[in-house]
Amino acid sequence: MNPSISFRAILFDFDGTLIDSYPAIAASVNHLRQHHGHASLSIDEVRRCVGRGPEFLLRHTVPDVDWPADWQIYSKHHPTVMRPLTKLLPGAAELLPALKNKGLTLGICSNKPRVFTQQLLEYLNLTELFAVVVGPEDVPRPKPAPDMLLAAMKRLKLAASEVLYVGDMRVDIETARAADVSVWVVPTGSDEREALAAAKPDRLLASLYDLMES
């Protein structure tokens, strides 16, 4: 990464930014749909509903969802598929240690429940790379509210001007803008490249490899 870039920390979204977790999420959504007698959805159908938190996910993929009872069913099932059906996105395995070695502080701010994020970080041998992990249960409001980014910056004792947020959705751009943080996005998640471009991030990357070369 170019040493002229002035950021001291990079905070990442997780699903669709660093990991491809859509097969696992779809498996648990379909487990819940089958519980209610509904046909399965495709991974792409589920993907469009990922990124705005678990309640949004279930309310937009399961008819007449019974929240929070159905969340308990999902939460019990998800650990059985989460690890084998989740993989790092191209470039992530090389990028994260390289950024850490450059002296940058790394963190995650994701609408994915923190317990799942932490379990996956451990499974993927990434835990030690991240100084802070913030999930929706840690703040009053999930993204696109700025609460997660503000909480992470407070823990790291950094100003907004020192932080870059990297995500894959319009919601990530909205979150960063609300926190007055610079935002770069990759078109590897729930939103198409055209939608990301229309939301005007500070940079629209082709992939995580572009971040390594920036």
- All structural domains of the chain: 9-20+86-213 (3.40.50.1000), 22-81 (1.10.150)
Residue 172 is among the residues annotated as catalytic for this protein: no
Q: Which of 11, 133, 136, 6 is nearest to 71 (CA)?
A: 136
Separation CA 112–CA 204 (nearest Å): 23
Separation CA 158–CA 137 (nearest Å): 22
Q: Which of 13, 147, 168, 172 is catalytic?
A: 13
Taking the model in full, what pTM does it have? 0.94
CA 49 to chain centroid, in Å, comes to 13
Per-residue pLDDT of the chain (214 residues; tens, 9 = 90+): 443 457 999 999 999 999 999 999 999 999 999 999 999 999 999 999 999 999 999 999 999 999 999 999 999 999 999 999 999 999 999 999 999 999 999 999 999 999 999 999 999 999 999 999 999 999 999 999 999 999 999 999 999 999 999 999 999 999 999 999 999 999 999 999 999 999 999 999 999 999 887 7
Rounded-to-10 torsion of CA 59, 136, 141, 45: -30
